[in-house]
């Protein structure tokens, strides 16, 4: 189970990095829950698929670097970092590049992601977004 849970999370991260919304959808449970670093919560694969499409439009080169992955049964912890450039009113400018350390909590059920929770400080990211809308 643990190896499968880690492989499922790795596939999910690969789909995020590839900006492959269809693959992301295929890796989510129907009742998938996404919790962002700001405390927001969205439940439902049907809501998250367009959410990922919108996020990919905002950050077309967003990527997760997973440095360490641990699991305890269906619970998986990922530690690493993110990087991306905000596609603001003037497009992708080098000064709109953001990122930093992050961690993720995942719960895997039947080789699909039931929960994807992000832990990161997005203070600087939101400053860039708000300044470039």
Q: Set out the domains of the chain in order of their start, with CATH numbers.
A: 2-131 (3.10.450.50)
Task: Compute the distance between CA of residue 122 and CA of residue 96 in angstroms, rounded to an integer.
Answer: 13
Give the per-residue pLDDT at 2.
61
Per-residue pLDDT for 1 more than 70?
A: no
Question: Taking a C-beta distance cutoff of 8 angstroms, is the pair 90, 116 a contact?
Answer: no
Q: Are strands 63-72 and 28-35 parallel, antiparallel or unpaired?
A: unpaired
**Taking all residues of the chain, what is their mean pLDDT, rounded to a whole number?**
95
Q: Are strands 28-35 and 41-43 parallel, antiparallel or unpaired?
A: antiparallel
Percentage of the chain surpassing pLDDT 70? 98
- Strands of 12-125 (E only): list them: 28-35, 41-43, 63-72, 75-88, 91-109, 112-120
Give the per-residue pLDDT at 101.
98
pLDDT category, 133, cuts 50, 70, 90? confident
3-state DSSP percent of the chain in helix, strand and coil, to 5: 35, 45, 20
Residue whose entry in the numeric block shows the structure tokens 């990087």: 83
Task: Compute the distance between CA of residue 39 and CA of residue 15 in angstroms, rounded to an integer.
Answer: 23
pLDDT category, 70, cuts 50, 70, 90? very high
pLDDT tens per residue, range 26-61: 999 999 999 999 999 999 999 999 999 999 999 999
């Amino acid at each position: 189970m643990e190896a499968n849970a880690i492989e499922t999370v790795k596939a999910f991260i690969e789909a995020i990095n590839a900006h492959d919304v269809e693959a992301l959808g295929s890796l989510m449970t129907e009742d998938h829950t996404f919790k962002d670093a700001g405390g927001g919560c969205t439940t439902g694969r049907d809501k998250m698929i367009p959410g990922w499409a919108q996020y990919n439009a905002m950050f077309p080169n967003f990527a997760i670097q997973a440095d360490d992955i641990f699991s305890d049964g269906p619970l998986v912890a990922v530690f690493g970092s993110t990087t991306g450039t905000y596609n603001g009113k003037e497009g992708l400018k080098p000064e709109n590049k953001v990122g930093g350390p992050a961690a993720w909590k995942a719960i895997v059920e039947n080789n699909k992601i039931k929960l994807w929770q992000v832990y990161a400080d997005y203070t600087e990211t939101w400053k860039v977004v708000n300044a470039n809308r």
